[in-house]
Structures are given as structure tokens and as C-alpha cells.
Amino acid sequence: MASIQNHNIVSSHNMQTISNIADIRNIIKAERQKGKTIGLVPTMGNLHAGHISLVAQMQQHADIVITSIFVNPLQFSPNEDFDSYPKTLKADQEKLEAAGNHYIFAPSAAEIYPEGSASKTLVSVAALDGILCGKSRPTHLTGVATVVTKLFNIIAPDHAVFGLKDYQQLMVIKQMAIDLCMPINVIGAPIVRDEDGLALSSRNSYLTAEQKQIAPRLNQILNYVKQAILAGEENFRELEKQTMQIIEESGFKPDYFEIRTQNTLKTATIADHKLTIFVAASLGKTRLIDNVRFATDEKNN
Ligand code: AMP
């Protein structure tokens, strides 16, 4: 037993890292037999304060928190950064242990895709694909939904948490859980940002010093457009068009800037009151995404 007098003991529970499916299932079975509830935090590793906030959030919901670390080949297209995606397992273990996470599930690609990543079964939330990130990354959301289905089937958690930073992804997972009768409470967690407003992302480590100066503009632009809408701007399509130009003039290569409804992700008009503004833009080879959510009938948010 750890001494409760020593405030520095953060690893008294000896967090374990598990790499195979049979082992994690046995561990979960034993925890379940003790009456514990299970929470899953899916990640691709290279953890930052945004990921750690998900662990903290999950501790409010579940007795046992399992963080998965898996760079999922299926959600990258051939021209993307799968091979160079930062892998920092040791640092991730230290951060998770300090955060009070209970288990890491860090499988190999062969464990998850024994027949290779040309998976014969794919999970696609068709109604939410083909827009936003689904348009420029056509296989991405199917790759995400497929691997999350596998993780849900392996861990069978009571709760799973996803960041609002990847808002479309969160909506895809929520819809998938409903449509496929997965008995899992899918939770959305607030976006964690740097002081300058830049949403934390593992990919921010790709940015040069010069690009780091430009990157926070993305969030400033989102907030500027939000304020314009709250101040009565009605022509959303014109606003989108002009803002795409501003993003380009700021030094980004814009992918999309779209004002959509918060719950259904439909193109929004002035008749809609719960809105999400989405942006994706690249700085050099680094693709950044961000969003802001608000209600037009709550002037104070
Ligand atoms: P990733 O490792 O990029 O796949 O992200 C794993 C989870 O962390 C996803 O649910 C993300 O939405 C979430 N996440 C990533 N960055 C942030 C952030 N800045 N704030 C909150 N959640 C985040």
C-alpha cells in the first residue's frame, strides 16, 4: 500500500501497458468482477494537455480509465503523415501515470489488423461523411469509425471520451454508437488551447517557429466570425467566402471554412440558432483544424 503521507507518490497503482487483446480483456473482466465501471480514452499518443484533460474528464465518469495509444493506419491516406507521426510511448506513459490513468492499451498494427490494414469490414457513418474533413480526406472518418468500433468491441467500456476539437469525429462516433446499438456513453470534452488560442494538437510539433506565429490566427478568425454573427451578420455564405480569403492572406492554405448546425452538421442559415463554425487549413505540410460552437440566442457566450 502506498503511503498516503507522501504526496509525491503518483504511481502507487503501477499503471500497466498492455499490448494484446486477450490480456486487456482478462484485466477488464477482473475489474468488472470487482464491480468497477470502465472508461476508454482513445488516442494516437504523443500526448499533450488536451489528451490529459480527457483522462481527467473520464475519471469523473468511470472507476477504471483505460487510455489506448494506437496510430491507426486505416485513417491515413497514402500521402499523409502515418510514417512520420510522432511516437513517444515512454513520455506518454509518464504523463498518463502522473494523471492517474489506470491502464494503457497500446497494441501493434498486427494485433488490430491481423490480415493487414486492407480491412475487409469497414464502418462508415455515411450521412456525416463527404462533408468537412470527409471531403478532403475521403477515407479518414471511415478509418476512425472502424478502429473505434474495434476498440469498443475489445474494451467494451461504459463511457468513451473524445475531444470537441475533432467535432465532426465526435459526431460520427456518437451517431455510430446510436445506430449500431453500442451501449456506450460517448462524451465530448472541451478544446484545450495554448495561451495564444492555438488548439493543442500532436501535429503542432511539425510547425516551424515562423508558422507557430501564424497558427493562432485560425482561432482568432473563428472568434471574429462568431462575433460578426452575434452582431447580426446574416449572409453566412458571403462570410464564409470572405473568410476563406482572409485565411489565405494570413499565410495558410485554406481547406474549408463553414458555418454549420451544431447537432446535424447541415449548412446553417440565419434560421438556425445553434451553430458550429469549422475551419481546416494548412501551414506548409501541417494541416490544422479548429471550431467554435455557440448559440445565437445566447448573446453572452
Ligand atoms: P489524437 O491523438 O489526435 O487522435 O486525439 C485523441 C483524442 O484527443 C481525440 O478525441 C481528440 O479530439 C482529443 N484531442 C486532441 N487535441 C485536443 C485538444 N486540444 N483539446 C481537447 N481534446 C483534444
pLDDT along the chain (301 residues), means of 10: 40 81 98 98 98 98 98 95 96 98 98 89 96 96 98 98 98 98 98 98 97 98 98 98 98 98 97 98 97 84 45
Helix locations, the chain, DSSP H: 21-33, 49-59, 89-98, 109-112, 133-136, 140-155, 167-179, 209-214, 217-230, 236-249
Q: In whole angstroms, what is the distance from residue 199 CA to residue 292 CA? A: 11
Q: In whole angstroms, what is the distance from residue 256 CA to residue 273 CA? A: 21
* Domain around 113: 9-189
Whether residues 40 and 142 fall in one domain: yes
What residues form DSSP beta bridges with 17? 104
pLDDT of res. 301: 45
Centroid of chain to Cα 229:
26
Residues 6+ apart with CB under 8 A from 196: 216
Domain-located, residue 240 = yes
Ligand 1 close to Cβ of residue 198 (< 6 A): no
C-alpha cell at 6: 507522501
Ligand 1 close to Cβ of residue 182 (< 6 A): no
Provide the number of structural domains found in the chain.
2
Ligand 1 close to Cβ of residue 43 (< 6 A): yes
Please give the number of the atom of ligand 1 that sits closest to the Cα of 163. Answer: 12
pLDDT of res. 4: 39
Ligand 1 close to Cβ of residue 54 (< 6 A): yes
The neighbour count for residue 118, using CB atoms within 10 Å, is 8
Place of cell 498516503: 4
Whether residues 94 and 217 fall in one domain: no
Domain-located, residue 4 = no
pLDDT of res. 119: 85
Nearest residue (by CA) to ligand 1, atom 6, is: 43
Whether residues 156 and 54 fall in one domain: yes
Burial class (CB in 10 A: 0-12, 13-18, 19+), 191: buried
What residues form DSSP beta bridges with 187? 161
Q: Which of 137, 165, 171, 278 to mutate to test the pocket of ligand 1 (most atoms within 8 A of CB)?
A: 165
Domain-located, residue 195 = no
Whether residues 214 and 280 fall in one domain: yes
Determine the distance separating the centroid of ligand 1 and the alpha carbon of 50, expressed in angstroms. Answer: 6
Determine the distance separating the centroid of ligand 1 and the alpha carbon of 235, expressed in angstroms. Answer: 32
pLDDT of res. 5: 41
Determine the distance separating the centroid of ligand 1 and the alpha carbon of 19, expressed in angstroms. Answer: 21
Whether residues 123 and 26 fall in one domain: yes
253: helix, coil or strand?
strand
Which residues form the catalytic set?
Answer: 51
pLDDT of res. 11: 45
- Among 19, 101, 8, which Cα is nearest to 63's? 101
59: helix, coil or strand?
helix
Whether residues 137 and 226 fall in one domain: no
Q: In whole angstroms, what is the distance from residue 146 CA to residue 141 CA? A: 8
Q: Taking a C-beta distance cutoff of 8 angstroms, is the pair 174, 187 a contact?
A: no
Strands 253-261 and 16-18: unpaired
Please give the number of the atom of ligand 1 that sits closest to the Cα of 161. Answer: 10
- Among 239, 226, 217, which Cα is nearest to 275's? 226
Whether residues 58 and 89 fall in one domain: yes
Whether residues 46 and 175 fall in one domain: yes
Q: Which of 54, 75, 198 to mutate to test the pocket of ligand 1 (most atoms within 8 A of CB)?
A: 54
Ligand 1 close to Cβ of residue 71 (< 6 A): no
CATH code (residue 276): 3.30.1300.10
pLDDT of res. 118: 80
Whether residues 161 and 258 fall in one domain: no
Domain-located, residue 3 = no
Predicted TM-score (pTM) of this structure: 0.94
Nearest residue (by CA) to ligand 1, atom 14, is: 163
Domain termination site, one of 129, 164, 189: 189
Q: In whole angstroms, what is the distance from residue 124 CA to residue 142 CA? A: 5
Domain termination site, one of 189, 221, 240: 189
Ligand 1 close to Cβ of residue 172 (< 6 A): no
